[in-house]
Amino acid sequence: MASIGQIVSPTPGNDALSRARSRAALVPDCLVEAKRIANTVIAGWHGRRKRGIGENFWQFRPYSEGESLSRIDWRRSARDDHTYIRDHEWEAAHTIWLWADMSPSMMYKSTYGHVSKEGRALVLMLALAEILARSGERIGCPGIMEPVSARNAAERLAAALTHTPLEGGLPQTAMIRGWSDIVLIGDFLDDADSVMSRIGPLARRGLRGHVVEVADPAEEIFPYSGRTEFTDPENGSKLVAGRAENLREDYRRAYLARRENLGQSLRHLGWTFVSHRTDRLASEALVAVHMYLSGMPAKATLGGQP
């Protein structure tokens, strides 16, 4: 039987950035702006409709005795007999940490997928950096890049990745302080209990998390038949099945149960979960994660079960 999948080489950061921009462009600006406006009613996000320090104009209001004269808008006051203060909108840029798992299993690509899991994970991470930077959020990557609030956050992250590549597994998070969001992207093929033992402490520290499971279609549908040799990308061990099709139903049952258990465990912690296949458009996962980050409901599974 012909090979269905292969192990690919890691994707260069600059190449991933160019593809991330094309995927980010698929999310209409009106959608991004709509979700940004929705953030105004969510505590902790920038742009809450409240008077305070910020760059965006909010309103004119009458001057009250004792307020600083430097805040008077003399041009507006000259229009009538009243003195007006120019108020700005209160802003507090939120910090969002992005991480993509680069374990050996992420280098897999089958003939059913458009790209490798590793390539899709990088595209999703950089596209999120691009979209969120447009909304004025601070973007960081644990151990790779300190949070920055800049329009070119995606370029900065891609440049940082060329010097310090991402590692396998979950990131070190000791440097993350205060109320933040963290987006973890990977295949999460370990059993749910093992994954939750590492994620649980993050949730108890107050981090609001979002997990994106990236899956190759072949991992889910198990299209193998006949004599097939399987290789574990993590440790190189091999398994030879004489009639692989006989394993299909048991495998799919265990695979989907692992996903369901992981999703339920994450939601129990107050985290969100998105399942995404590499034969689907990256923009589907981007929309779902962006809606979660905006505090709006989204489907828990995209491109998951057929």
Concatenating the DSSP letter of every residue in 157-215 gives HHHHHHHS---SSSPP-TT--SS-EEEEEE---S-HHHHHHHHHHHHHTT-EEEEEEEE
Q: What is the pLDDT of residue 161?
A: 84
**Domains of the chain, residue spans:** 17-45+92-294, 53-90
Q: What is the pLDDT of residue 292?
A: 87
DSSP label of 242: S
pLDDT for 106-144, tens place per residue? 989 999 998 889 888 988 888 888 888 877 889 999 999
Q: What is the pLDDT of residue 81?
A: 78
* Phi, then psi, of 213 in degrees rounded to 5: -85, 120
Report the DSSP pairing between strands 272-277 and 228-231. Answer: unpaired
* C-alpha distance from residue 57 to each of 90, 128, 201 (Å): 10, 27, 40
* Phi, then psi, of 302 in degrees rounded to 5: -130, 130
Range from 26-40, 47-61, 203-217 carrying the lowest mean pLDDT: 26-40
- Region 255-281: mean pLDDT is 94
Tell me which residue has tokens 């396998």: 168
Q: How confident is the model at residue 278 (pLDDT cuts 50, 70, 90)?
A: very high
Average pLDDT score over the chain: 78
Domain 17-45+92-294 has CATH 3.40.50.410: yes
Question: Rg for the chain (alpha carbons), in Å?
Answer: 23
CA angle, 103 then 250 then 117, to 5°: 25
Q: Is the pLDDT of residue 54 over 50?
A: no
Q: What is the pLDDT of residue 20?
A: 66
pLDDT for 212-244, tens place per residue? 999 999 999 999 999 999 888 888 889 899 999
Q: What is d(CA 117, CA 286) in angstroms, rounded to the nearest whole number?
A: 15
